[in-house]
Amino acid sequence: MSYTAPLKDMLFDIEHLARIDQVSQMPGFEDAGLETAQAVLEECAKLNEGVIAPLNWEGDKNPSSFKDGVVTTTPGFKDAFRQYAEGGWQGLQHPVDFGGQGLPKTIGAACGEILNSANMSFALCPLLTDGAIEALITAGSDELKAIYLEKLVSGQWTGTMNLTEPQAGSDLAAVRSRAEPQPDGSYKVFGTKIFITYGEHDMAENIVHLVLARVTGAPEGVKGISLFVVPKFMVNKDGTLGDRNDVHCVSIEHKMGIKASPTAVLQYGDHGGATAYLVGQENRGLEYMFIMMNAARYAVGVQGIAIAERAYQKAVGYAKDRVQSRPVDGSMSAAAPIIHHPDVKRMLMTMRASTEGCRAMASVAAAAYDAAHHHPDAEVRKQNAAFYEFLVPLVKGYSTEMSLEVTSLGVQVHGGMGFIEETGAAQYYRDAKILTIYEGTTAIQANDLVGRKTARDGGTGAKAIAAQIEKTEAELAKQDSANAKAVHLRLKAAREAFVDVVDFIAANARSNPNAAFAGSVPYLMLAGNLMAGWQLARSLLVAEELSAKGQDVAFMQAKITTARFYADHILSRVPGTRDAIVDGADAVTALAIESF
């Protein structure tokens, strides 16, 4: 059940792919070079390996419980959260002005992976708090910032996102919670919110709910939604906590996975209305909530990478210990550990390469985010913002779908024992399933990729990324090694298939939307596969160069082998996916509905 943070791989990505040396030249990040990254990751690993990871299995067996409006978290969670907050981990990426450490996302994302690998149920509480902090920094008044931000950044208080209602899932136009203006400038909120992660718990003294609701008389649809802060406990002028607000947990869900994370049903306004404070301007709530959602979507992608890494480590440990059958090549005369069998190696390599590819993609995306927000040159900021925005649905969609494949393979490696809960392999599979659903399903990420990120500019942004990939192909073509040559061919074929699909989407999005959107999820999977494969191709170039210089040869050779495997076994899926999208669109919608 133990977990070891993959620090070497993370630092390789941060140094060579995300280029932390360039990030640390940006204003505000001068002290955030490779040495800082290494020191922070090592400390993060220590806390998570020693304190938080051992609670993961416990949380699955003894999940959060609900009684008389009170939620009690898994034994050990409260103390672990205290240590997490005291270590300053909640404030890692947040501004120094509010007590944070102001570190780049390039470092923060790696810490997020470590935390989620250690214990995804636990990690959801800080993840939602991060989103609340982002929204308040962006749109909150100076008064709201003064009251709430330092306490949220320190981890003394936690935050939530309240979007979903029983009748309004992904369609937020259907939100019915209402907000009535009060003479003192505050509002009273009434309504029910469901699926509220850590909407009630015992780990912090206050919970700050960010709630979508309609002000009385607001326009219908998404244009009439506003965002409010609704604290669990009112905050006095001196910063101390006052009376309990009129927001109450009426139940928590019983779930397939992430069982230790309390998913609450919250009732607002049963006793006269919950006191609420407007964030930003009325009727702009969805715009502000998207700030939280974008931050959370990237973070959920990192959760996919994290759970895949945990499942991989578990499967490798089992494959090295489990003795079953003689190797097919006759190299051993007696039964041997199953890691000697080619198919087991294939499964483990698929798990490893998929995880490393998505980690590299997420690391590069984080660096683009940092440049988009901190680079002194406006044009560079703009280019990096566009690149990051394109990658967010891929990091979220592809990495989480990847985690399902990887955690399923983890169960498969264990054989029958994987189906038995006591081995722990099944928990990762169950926990992974939610990742393709919350913060926008894979289909919603794909709709975003098709509509906003591809069709809107006629594929210009996507093709600009393809041009960057071509430069990597040119670098690979110059190398003498068989591995570089093989990866070059796979990357070229995948990039050409990607461009074909971009053209198809751009041509059909308006004139034949059913055709464009029939292939939306396959397009997301194709694009994510290509971006991860591209980063592993870049890693191969670096690893070959460093290996030739005698630097950490075993690690670099493993990196090369993993990149080659990805190219041959995973990136090679791209051309077939292209055919399904471009040639197979009609077959998706051809069957009459009454024939289903």
Taking the C-alpha atoms of 157, 191, 292 and 126 in order, what is their torsion angle to the nearest 10 degrees?
Answer: 30
8 Å CB contact between 410 and 418: yes
CB 299 within 8 A of CB 112: yes
Residue pointed to by tokens 């902090």:
133
Per-chain mean pLDDT for the chain: 97
pLDDT of residue 105: 98
| pLDDT 10s digits, 382-409 | 999 999 999 999 999 999 999 999 999 9
Task: Determine the pLDDT at residue 154.
Answer: 98
Kindly report, residue by residue over 184-211, the tens digit of the pLDDT.
999 999 999 999 999 999 999 999 999 9
Residue 384 CA: distances (Å) to CA of 329, 379, 390, 525, 561: 50, 9, 10, 22, 30
Spatial separation of the C-alpha atoms in residues 307 and 123, rounded to whole Å: 12
Tens-digit pLDDT profile for residues 27-45? 999 999 999 999 999 999 9
Q: What is the pLDDT of residue 1?
A: 61
Residue 173, pLDDT above cutoff 90: no
- SS3 annotation, 135-182: HHHHHCCHHHHHHHHHHHHHCCEEEEEECCECCECCCHHHCCCEEEEC
The answer on pLDDT for 172 being more than 90 is no
Q: Any catalytic annotation for residue 439?
A: yes
Please give the pLDDT value at position 170.
82
| CA atoms of 252 and 263, how far apart (whole Å) | 5
- Tens digit of each residue's pLDDT (9 = 90 or more) over 333-378: 899 999 999 999 999 999 999 999 999 999 999 999 999 999 999 9
Catalytic residue among 150, 356, 401, 439: 439
Structure tokens at 439: 């913060």
